Structure 1
Amino acid sequence: MVWVLSVSLAYAQSDVPSLSGNDRAAPATGLSTYRLAAGDVITIRVLGEDDLSKEKIRLTDAGSVSYPALGEVKVLGLTTGDLERIVTSGLKGRYLVNPKVSVQIEEYRPFYINGMVDKPGGYPYQPGLTVRKAASLAGGFKERASVNKISIIRDGDASQRSQKAELNTFVMPGDIVTVDESFF
């Protein structure tokens, strides 16, 4: 028997990371607040149940994954902890007595950087990434780059509004960073 779990969370304004470089990416609890979206690659493991474990699953454009015994599971906007709880509750009782599930992000979706950097384009996200580090991945700033005129369009921002950023501003997967040219 196959059944479909459908859970989706809309991005709340509080889920969009702050642009301040002093903010931390995770809350004081130490739990990840990273929200899964299309393009992420995850691994789901069930302790002692190799047939229920799935390695390196890329989320579809709809933000879902196909999972044994549960069917298509919508994970758009969920944290890894949320997904662990959903898979655990889906397997508990019907398939396993007390499943131990872990979800790991294998590859984050890319971020994009354009403008006055040596090699504009999409690059793999890395936790702790700042604008300064993103520019380094893109070959560094060009001579005419203005480090005071940097903007970010956040992936989770439905309005796609450009926001001013600084060198220590955190960059998240799917974000678009633009470095403007300095005229003086």
Structure 2
Amino acid sequence: MLRLLSLLLVTCSLNVLATENAYRLGAGDLISISVYDEPDLSLELRIGLSGTVSYPLLGDIEVTGLSPKELEIRLVERLRGPYLVDPSVTVSIMEYRPFYVTGEVRKPGSYSFHPGLTIDRAISIAGGLTERASKNKIFVVHDLSVKQVELDGGPSIKKNRANIADVVRPGDVITVEQGFF
């Protein structure tokens, strides 16, 4: 029994670690950067639209697309040597950027992201579908993978048809289109 419990704890820890490493920072995320024994270098920052943060001693640092662990490594590399002997840096996500629901839902808008959120739960948070909503025309545009494609001679954002069980990511835009009866 003890062996099974230990295996379960290790598996859960690895899943959490894999999820944290898979998450990519983007504009709107609120992050905390802590440098052990250096209170002047420990702060909370919201990532701006430029995808950079202004950090003491180092200036502007590009963070969009990095995982929290990759940002930790980048900060350690830049602080080690000229500023600190052996810095210990921790990056935590304090608040994820919001996701958006538009179209045929009762309360379109932006909503706070929570890990494990699915399309059907996101639609529920937005008040559910209207009478005119199409359950077969739900699309999602992922925040960090927006692509421009040509449709009908003009530029447009590529939409991916969504399944209601698909996982929502921070910054995603979910669109529920109107159905014809």
Common topology (TM > 0.5): yes
Out of 60, 73, 92, the position equivalent to 2:61 is 73
Q: 1:21 maps to what in 2?
A: none
Out of 51, 58, 74, the position equivalent to 2:40 is 51
Q: Would you say 1:167 and 2:149 are equivalent positions?
A: no
Whole-Å Cα distance in 1 between the matches of residues 171 and 83 of structure 2?
A: 36
Out of 125, 129, 135, the position equivalent to 1:137 is 125
- The TM-score normalised by the length of structure 1 is 0.78
User: Structure 1 pair 27/149, CA: closer, same or farther in 2 (3 Å)?
Assistant: farther
User: Structure 1 pair 31/123, CA: closer, same or farther in 2 (3 Å)?
Assistant: closer
Of structures 1 and 2, the one with the larger relative CO (CA 8 A, separation 6+) is 1
How far 1:40 moved relative to its partner?
1.5
> Are 1:27 and 1:33, in contact at CA under 8 Å, matched by a contact in 2?
no
Q: Would you say 1:125 and 2:113 are equivalent positions?
A: yes
Q: Percent identity?
A: 47
- Per the alignment, in what secondary structure is the counterpart of residue 105 of structure 2? coil
> Are 1:147 and 1:166, in contact at CA under 8 Å, matched by a contact in 2?
no
Instruction: Report matched runs for 1:5-154 at 5 Å.
Output: 29-55=18-44, 57-154=45-142
> Are 2:26 and 2:63, in contact at CA under 8 Å, matched by a contact in 1?
yes
- Per the alignment, in what secondary structure is the counterpart of residue 90 of structure 1? helix
Count residues with an aligned counterpart. 158
Unaligned runs of 5+ in 1: 1-25
- Per the alignment, in what secondary structure is the counterpart of residue 22 of structure 2? coil
User: Structure 1 pair 59/170, CA: closer, same or farther in 2 (3 Å)?
Assistant: same
Q: 2:174 maps to what in 1?
A: 177
How far 1:147 moved relative to its partner?
2.0
* Bigger CA radius of gyration: 2
Structure 1 outlier segments of 4+, above 6 Å: none
- The TM-score normalised by the length of structure 2 is 0.79
Q: Name the aligned partner's letter for residue 153 of structure 1.
A: V
Q: For residues 41-96 of structure 1, what are the alpha-carbon distances to aligned partners after superposition, in whole Å with 9 as ceiling and x for unaligned?
A: 111001121111012x1112210011111111111211111100011111112222
Unaligned runs of 5+ in 2: 1-14, 149-156
Q: Name the aligned partner's letter for residue 167 of structure 2.
A: F
How far 1:27 moved relative to its partner?
9.4
What is the CA RMSD across the aligned residues, in angstroms? 1.9
